[in-house]
């Protein structure tokens, strides 16, 4: 029996509807600033999609486009102004940044209360200490996909391929907090295929097209594909060889239409979380 397809688009639509409803009930419009430096075409598309999706749920989105030769000092000054701006609840600086700007310096300059990407040291530290506030959007989306697919994470053997601050590291923390037994694999892992074959939950976030082959996947494994790569012919593929994995896995996320829409939906939810916390709403914070 082929794998069940985990529909990220449908789940993202449901989460966006919930976020829109909560914003309407709150009677205020959270403010989100998305900063794009330079003209990387993929980043431009991501930023436009985030802006559109934010407006659709009632978030006041503002995209700030800066030239590719913007200095680090100038970008830090923009961030300081956004930190101080009372109508801005969330700040996202699209990565990657041009080479003259150190991403860590920028991430560390964002007020943790407005850090809707969850990448600042304060939010990363809180996640690792088991007291999460704003959690990185892609790993949060992966956890919601697992929950929606009724995957029992507790006690499961989970493999995360990739150790980036954006995905692999925070996802390993979330899976650990959900009581999975977590292995983090990376470019120096010996015999990645063998690690994959042991995994009951396999998350591929390596950034390498079709790295994970069908015969690396255990039957009955749940496969979450975080990768997205444009092929020469124009099609999109993930980090998993989808056609090979489909007959083997129990369930799998497609590319596109799996993790991607959930990343955006979680950004919008994080923006609302930040807005509520800044208004003294009890709960997270
Ligand atoms: N570039 C690719 N993914 C992301 C993300 O989740 N956040 C930011 N800021 N940049 C990205």
- Eight-state DSSP code of residue 28: S
**How confident is the model at residue 1, as a pLDDT?**
85
Pocket perturbation via mutation, ligand 1, pick of 95, 116, 171, 271 by most ligand atoms within 8 A of CB: 95
Give the pLDDT confidence of 103-125 residue by residue, as tens digits: 999 999 999 999 999 999 999 99
Q: How far is Cα 4 from Cα 251, in angstroms, rounded to an integer?
A: 4
Ligand 1 centroid distance, CA of 129 (Å): 23
Relative orientation angle of helices 259-278 and 41-56, to the nearest 10 degrees = 60
pLDDT of res. 195: 98
Average pLDDT, the chain: 97
Low-confidence stretches of the chain (pLDDT beneath 70)? 282-285
DSSP letter at 27? Answer: T
CATH of 27-111, one of 3.40.50.300, 3.30.950.10, 3.30.70.1290, 3.40.50.10860: 3.40.50.10860
For residue 43, the ligand 1 atom closest to its alpha carbon is 1
Q: How high is the pLDDT of residue 285?
A: 46
Closest CA to 224 of 202, 209, 247: 202
Query: Closest ligand 1 atom to the C-alpha of 166?
Result: 6
Segment 81-102, tens digit of pLDDT: 999 999 999 999 999 999 999 9
State in Å: Cα 146 to ligand 1 middle: 21
Q: Looking at ligand 1, which atom is closest to the CA of residue 137? A: 6
136 three-class SS: coil
- The residues of the chain that CATH labels 3.40.50.10860 are 27-111
Question: Do the strands 229-230 and 236-237 form a parallel or antiparallel pair, or are they unpaired?
Answer: antiparallel
Joined tokens for residue 273? 């979380």
Q: Which of 227, 282, 285, 273 is nearest to 32 (CA)?
A: 273
| Residue-wise pLDDT tens digits, 42-89 | 999 999 999 999 999 999 999 999 999 999 999 999 999 999 999 999
Write out the residue limits of the CATH 3.40.50.720 domain(s) in the chain: 136-261
Of 94, 103, 120, the residue with max ligand 1 atoms within 8 A of its CB, to mutate for a pocket test, comes to 94
Residue nearest to atom 2 of ligand 1 (CA): 95
CATH number of 136-261: 3.40.50.720
Q: In a mutational test of the pocket of ligand 1, which residue from 117, 228, 268 has the highest number of ligand atoms less than 8 Å from its CB? A: 117
- For ligand 1, atom 9, which residue shows the shortest CA distance? 94
Measured from CB, residues less than 6 Å from any atom of ligand 1 are 92-95, 117, 137-138, 166, 263
The CA distance from 132 to 15, in Å, is 19
Residue 282: per-residue pLDDT: 67
Q: Among all residues, which ones are annotated catalytic? A: 50, 94, 117
In the numeric block, which tokens belong to residue 153? Answer: 């994470």
pLDDT reported for residue 284: 52
């Amino acid at each position: 029996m082929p794998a069940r397809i985990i529909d990220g688009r449908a789940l993202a639509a449901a989460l966006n509807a919930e976020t829109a409803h909560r914003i309407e009930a709150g009677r205020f419009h959270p403010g989100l600033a998305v900063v794009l430096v330079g003209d990387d075409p993929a980043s431009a598309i991501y930023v436009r999609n985030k802006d559109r999706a934010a407006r659709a749920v009632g978030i006041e989105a503002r995209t700030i486009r800066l030239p590719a030769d913007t200095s680090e000092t100038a970008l830090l000054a923009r961030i300081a102004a956004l930190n101080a701006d009372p109508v801005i609840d969330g700040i996202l600086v699209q990565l990657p940044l041009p080479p003259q700007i150190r991403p860590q310096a920028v991430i560390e300059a964002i007020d943790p209360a407005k850090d809707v990407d969850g990448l600042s040291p304060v939010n990363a530290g809180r996640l690792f200490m088991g007291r999460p506030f704003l959690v990185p959007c892609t790993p949060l989306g992966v956890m919601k996909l697992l929950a929606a697919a009724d995957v029992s994470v507790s006690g499961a053997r989970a493999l995360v391929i990739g150790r980036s601050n954006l995905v692999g590291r925070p996802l390993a923390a979330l899976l650990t907090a959900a009581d999975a037994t977590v292995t983090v694999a990376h470019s120096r892992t010996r015999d990645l295929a063998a690690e994959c074959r042991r995994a009951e939950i396999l998350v591929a976030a390596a950034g390498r097209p079709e790295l994970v082959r069908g015969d690396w996947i255990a039957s009955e494994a749940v496969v979450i594909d975080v990768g997205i790569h444009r092929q020469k012919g124009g099609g999109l593929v993930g980090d998993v060889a989808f056609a090979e994995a489909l007959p083997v896995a129990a369930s799998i996320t497609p590319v596109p239409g799996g993790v991607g829409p959930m990343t955006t939906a979680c950004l919008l939810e994080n923006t609302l979380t930040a807005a509520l916390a800044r208004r003294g709403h009890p709960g997270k914070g």
